[in-house]
């Protein structure tokens, strides 16, 4: 607290109040240009990614719901199924479910999260992350004021948020879809902007609290999640709880249905208050310090940390736990939406997709497709976990442990074990969530076991993809991106393989295509055994290759 | 004498012959030969990029040599890496810790993976190095990360310590602690290979020294042996002006100002020069042995001229005169810069 006292006295000597503010903000303009330059690739990617997802999603709706009856049958599901309400929002305009109302209801709550994440990462990257690396110290030692970093970061983020809103508004408005009018599109874009601004302001506070950029992003990201959950509970219970959530506010503006401005102004007002808090806290702390002093940890290692597997587990543990939680929730939310498919019985496009899977009911076809997608998401974890040794090596931490009695093979195999077992665990959890949710909603308990089995059957394909990563890591560390290519190809095949009627050999290139699509198809062990054998071969190649190559330096 | 015995009769801990390692087109090691006797502290000197770290990484089996042979404690470091690693400890030049593990956890982790830590020594070292073991890896400064690696290495009961510039981030107090600890390790009979930039540290700690240049050892031996190969700076005041010295063998850079005479003389001709000098009736005599800095500059002087010409006697001597004139306290960098200026001006030694 000495700093709090020292700061005003230091500046009291300044002659006029105008000079004081000028001194505190010195260099802000330069930093703004500098930040924009640093983000010259990242920011356009964020803006384009969010805008394209939103606008292309909206553009597909007239094809999926050609008639008013199609739309209204969808509205029935949203009105009756509390799980769908929890996922989307309060459901303005369900009684006359226009395309505009669909956008407001089905897109807004999820999509503004992306804009909020963009804003949080931007603020943290230009403030706390700069302090953590020590770069801010270098910059602040020149003619740069105390508030310059925060002001520049917030300015750039605000510009990005406004840009996002404009792009969304223009993109949506120019689609020319009936009821997706320009006025509503402006509110729709403004909702994006306000959500991003509120969470930018929250990040302006969290970066003052902790010493680490990752923790600041983590807290702000957790608050985004909390905002979503609070509005989910509030929307289902209809008890006004949603008014505590920034996501609830932007939804309350009801673009295309209500077109209300005041909930957005409420968000802006809260953002201003939070930014003021950020500045106040910024003034009370030293450069590089947090308000919360970092916790100390154990002075000695626990017994398990000294073993190779315990060590690998320690490094991957939190990742496994977070992914487990996410996969259960993802499975549950898809499972809870199982009855939505009933409304698509007459939908031509959906019928086409279902036909390509072949046989069985619409619901079963839909479930088997969701399982394939969830399996691919689980594989993302497996590949990240299998490439953890690569990150350890690049960071220069591998050489310390590999200069001890730990052999290369064992070190790599332990991380690999966690990737493979963890991936299978995630498949199980996703299956539990999806099967459980679907069984409860549909009242068909047999569905639970079918879904669980179908999900776990993807384990060999998951192992094979992770094994590609390991083989690349052992033989040619620069080529580890190959595993991501396999995964990207698999996504493409799952989505478009049937629709585009691609030749069989292109489908067969994806390991996921060989897994029987239960519950539609019957269980077949042979393809799974072959996938597992190939995976084992690739793992062996990776282990041998890694034993024979040079370790890269930091 | 002790040193001579050590290098003469004791068993070999590390031996390297004809070691070659290239990364693409860059040749990092080019037929390197080196021998470290068991129980000695061996200084490994050379500037950045000379191949010190590459050598150590080959000795750890982290890199595979293209050609040549390396033996550590009688074993092949590539083939027997794991068995060998239980008998040695390594401190990298750039210590990277796990952001989520505390320093204490990292020490235990590395120690246990190696096969166990001496708990008493662990506690004593943490105390001596004034290290807070409860901080997370990301919160440590460079010096503190190095302390973590040093404690982990020194608290293990190992036969060889491979230290790659282990004190680059330590303050002078901790440098003193480090020197104490290394002396204690030597007293326990351990072998230490110490790569370093800090010549004073090497002079204080090391029994023998190897100087590496462009991936080859250019000089190896005890400090005394190495000094003998270079010239000693002599400054004398005589009653009668010492005019005849210029013709003597091994005498260079003679300067006579009245009765004061300054010159450099090769180790082998020191005796003859002093005999002649005493003929002019000596009033005062100062002899300065070459410092390690001068030894280094002798081997690296040419790199500073940036034209790639092999070092010749004239240039190396101008380097020596620069350092001795400034009372030997000049740092390598300063004298290097000074010498660069001399060359840059005209190429003639003043």
Separation between Cα atoms, residue A199 and residue B88, nearest integer Å: 52
Which residues of A are less than 8 Å from B108 in CB distance?
300-301, 305-306
Predicted pLDDT at A10: 40
How would residue B7 be classed by pLDDT, with cut points 50, 70 and 90?
Answer: very low
Count, in order, helices (H) and strands (E) of chain A.
Answer: 26, 0
Predicted pLDDT at A442: 83
Predicted pLDDT at A2: 40
Cβ proximity of B272 and B304 under 8 Å:
no
Structure-model confidence comparison of residues B331 and B287, the more confident one? B287
Considering CB atoms only, which of B62, B89, B132 is closest to A551? Answer: B62
Cβ proximity of A388 and A315 under 8 Å:
yes
Cβ proximity of A294 and A209 under 8 Å:
no
How would residue B178 be classed by pLDDT, with cut points 50, 70 and 90?
Answer: very high
Say if the Cβ atoms of A306 and B81 lie within 8 Å: no
* Interface residue ranges in chain B relative to chain A, Cβ cutoff 8 Å: 53, 57, 60, 62-64, 81-82, 85-86, 88-90, 92, 94-98, 100-102, 104-115, 132-136, 138-139, 149
pLDDT (average), residues B224-250: 81
Q: How far is A214 from chain B (nearest CA, A)?
A: 11
Strand order in the sheet with B231-238: B251-257, B260-266, B231-238, B282-288
Cβ proximity of B133 and B107 under 8 Å:
yes
Say if the Cβ atoms of B82 and A401 lie within 8 Å: no
CATH code, B231-288: 3.30.70
Would B2-226 and B231-288 be classified into the same CATH topology?
no
Report the Cα–Cα distance between both ends of chain A, in Å, rounded: 39
How would residue B271 be classed by pLDDT, with cut points 50, 70 and 90?
Answer: confident
Residues of chain A with pLDDT under 70: 1-19, 292-295, 340-360, 498-499, 554
**C-alpha dist (Å) from residue B173 to A68, A544, B167, B176, B189:** 81, 46, 11, 5, 25
Report the alpha-carbon angle A267-A191-A278, nearest 5: 35
Architecture of domain B2-226: 3-Layer(aba) Sandwich (3.40)
The answer on pLDDT for B334 being more than 60 is: no
Predicted pLDDT at B103: 94
Find all residues with CB under 8 Å of A521, minimum gap 6, and list them: A358, A359, A368
Question: The tokens of A100 are what?
Answer: 């505009």
The answer on pLDDT for B309 being more than 60 is: no
pLDDT (average), residues B270-292: 84
Nearest to B90 by CA among A284, A213, A54, A403: A403
Predicted pLDDT at A83: 73
**C-alpha dist (Å) from residue A10 to A5, A23, A24, A200, A278:** 9, 12, 12, 30, 21
Cβ proximity of A374 and A455 under 8 Å:
yes
Domains in chain B: boundaries: 2-226, 231-288, 292-344
Say if the Cβ atoms of B82 and A308 lie within 8 Å: no
Q: What is the pLDDT of residues B22-58, one digit of tens each?
A: 998 899 999 999 999 999 999 998 888 889 999 999 9
Predicted pLDDT at A12: 43
Say if the Cβ atoms of B138 and A311 lie within 8 Å: no
A551 vs B: CB within 8 A: yes
Say if the Cβ atoms of B135 and A297 lie within 8 Å: yes
Residue A474 host element (H or E):
helix A459-475
Predicted pLDDT at A294: 61
Q: What is the pLDDT of residues B154-173, one digit of tens each?
A: 999 999 999 999 988 888 89
Nearest to A466 by CA among A456, A455, A474: A474
- Nearest residue of B to residue A308 by CA position? B113
Pick from B56, B79, B86, B109 the residue to mutate for testing the A interface (most A CBs within 10 Å): B109
- Nearest residue of A to residue B158 by CA position? A404
Strand order in the sheet with B191-196: B88-91, B160-164, B191-196, B41-45, B208-213, B216-222
């Amino acid at each position: 607290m000495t700093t709090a006292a020292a700061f005003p006295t230091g500046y009291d000597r300044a002659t006029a109040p105008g000079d004081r503010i000028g001194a505190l903000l010195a260099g802000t303009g330069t930093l703004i240009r500098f930040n924009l330059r640093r983000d010259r690739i990242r920011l356009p990617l964020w803006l384009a990614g969010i805008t394209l997802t939103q606008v292309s999603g909206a553009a597909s709706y007239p094809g999926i719901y050609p008639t008013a009856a199609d739309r209204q049958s969808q509205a029935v599901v949203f009105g009756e199924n509390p799980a769908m309400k929890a996922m989307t929002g309060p459901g303005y305009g369900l009684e006359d479910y226009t395309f505009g109302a669909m956008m407001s209801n089905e897109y807004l709550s999820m999509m503004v999260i992306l804009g909020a994440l963009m804003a949080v990462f931007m603020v943290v990257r230009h403030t706390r992350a700069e302090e953590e690396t020590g770069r801010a110290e270098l910059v602040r030692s020149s003619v740069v004021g105390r508030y310059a970093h925060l002001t520049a970061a917030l300015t750039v983020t605000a510009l990005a948020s406004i840009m996002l809103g404009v792009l969304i508004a223009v993109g949506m408005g120019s689609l020319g879809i009936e009821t997706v009018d320009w006025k509503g599109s402006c509110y729709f874009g403004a909702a994006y902007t306000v959500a991003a601004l509120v969470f930018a302001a929250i990040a302006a506070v969290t970066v003052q609290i902790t010493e680490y950029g990752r923790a600041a992003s983590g807290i702000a990201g957790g608050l985004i999640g909390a905002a979503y959950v609070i509005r989910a509970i509030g929307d289902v219970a209809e008890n006004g709880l949603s008014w505590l959530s920034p996501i609830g506010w932007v939804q309350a503006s009801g673009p295309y249905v209500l077109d209300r401005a005041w909930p957005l102004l409420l968000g802006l007002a809260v953002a201003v208050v939070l930014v003021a808090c950020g500045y106040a806290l910024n003034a009370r702390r030293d450069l590089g310090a947090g308000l919360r002093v970092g916790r100390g940890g154990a002075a000695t290692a626990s017994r398990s940390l000294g073993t190779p597997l315990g060590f690998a587990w320690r490094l991957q543990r939190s990742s496994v736990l977070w992914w487990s939680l996410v996969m259960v929730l993802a499975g549950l939310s898809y499972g809870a939406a199982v009855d939505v498919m009933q409304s698509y019985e007459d939908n031509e496009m959906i019928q086409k997709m279902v036909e390509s899977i072949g046989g069985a009911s619409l619901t079963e076809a839909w479930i088997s497709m969701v399982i394939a997608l969830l399996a691919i998401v689980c594989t993302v974890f497996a590949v990240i976990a299998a490439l953890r040794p690569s990150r350890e090596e690049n960071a220069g931490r591998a050489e310390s442990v590999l200069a001890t009695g730990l052999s290369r093979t064992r070190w790599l195999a332990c991380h690999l074990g966690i990737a493979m077992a963890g991936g299978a665990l995630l498949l199980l959890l996703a299956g539990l969530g999806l099967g459980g949710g679907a069984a409860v909603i549909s009242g068909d308990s047999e569905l639970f076991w079918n879904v669980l089995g179908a999900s776990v059957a993807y384990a060999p394909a998951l192992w094979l993809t992770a094994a590609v990563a390991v083989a690349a890591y052992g033989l040619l560390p620069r080529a580890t991106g190959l595993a991501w290519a396999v995964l990207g190809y698999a996504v493409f095949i799952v989505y478009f393989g049937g629709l585009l009627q691609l030749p069989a050999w292109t489908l067969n290139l994806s390991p996921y295509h060989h897994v029987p699509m239960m519950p539609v198809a019957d269980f077949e062990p042979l393809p799974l055994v072959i996938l597992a054998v190939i995976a084992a071969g690739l793992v062996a190649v990776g282990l041998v290759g890694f034993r024979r190559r040079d370790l890269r330096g930091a | 004498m002790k040193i001579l015995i050590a290098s003469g009769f004791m068993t070999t801990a590390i031996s390297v012959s004809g070691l070659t390692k290239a990364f693409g087109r860059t040749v990092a090691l080019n037929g390197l030969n080196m021998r470290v006797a068991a129980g000695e502290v061996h200084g490994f000197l050379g500037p950045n990029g000379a191949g010190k770290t590459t050598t150590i990484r080959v000795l750890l089996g982290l890199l595979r040599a293209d050609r040549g042979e390396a033996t550590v404690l009688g074993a092949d470091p590539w083939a027997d890496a794991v068995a060998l690693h239980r008998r040695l400890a390594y401190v990298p030049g750039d210590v990277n810790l796990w952001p989520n593990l505390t320093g204490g956890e990292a020490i235990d982790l590395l120690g246990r993976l190696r096969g166990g830590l001496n708990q008493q020594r662990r506690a004593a070292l943490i105390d001596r190095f004034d290290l807070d073991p409860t901080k997370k890896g990301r919160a440590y400064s460079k010096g503190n990360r190095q302390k973590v690696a040093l404690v982990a290495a020194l608290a293990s009961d190992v036969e060889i310590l491979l230290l790659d510039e282990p004190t680059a981030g330590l303050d002078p107090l901790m440098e003193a602690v480090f020197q104490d600890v290394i002396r204690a390790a030597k007293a326990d009979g351990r072998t230490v290979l110490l790569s370093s930039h800090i010549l004073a540290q090497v002079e204080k700690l090391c029994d023998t020294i190897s100087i590496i240049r462009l991936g080859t050892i250019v000089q190896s031996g005890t400090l005394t042996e190495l000094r003998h190969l270079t010239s000693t700076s002599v400054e004398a005041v005589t009653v009668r002006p010492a005019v005849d010295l210029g013709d003597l063998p091994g005498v260079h850079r003679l300067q006579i100002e009245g009765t004061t005479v300054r010159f450099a003389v090769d180790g082998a001709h020191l005796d003859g020069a002093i005999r002649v000098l005493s003929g002019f009736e000596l009033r005062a005599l100062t002899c300065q042995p070459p410092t390690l800095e001068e030894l280094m500059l002798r081997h690296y002087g040419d790199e500073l001229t940036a034209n790639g010409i092999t070092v010749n006697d004239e240039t190396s001597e101008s380097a020596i005169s620069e350092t001795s004139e400034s009372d030997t306290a000049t740092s390598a960098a300063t004298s290097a810069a000074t010498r660069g200026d001399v060359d840059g001006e005209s190429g003639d030694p003043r």
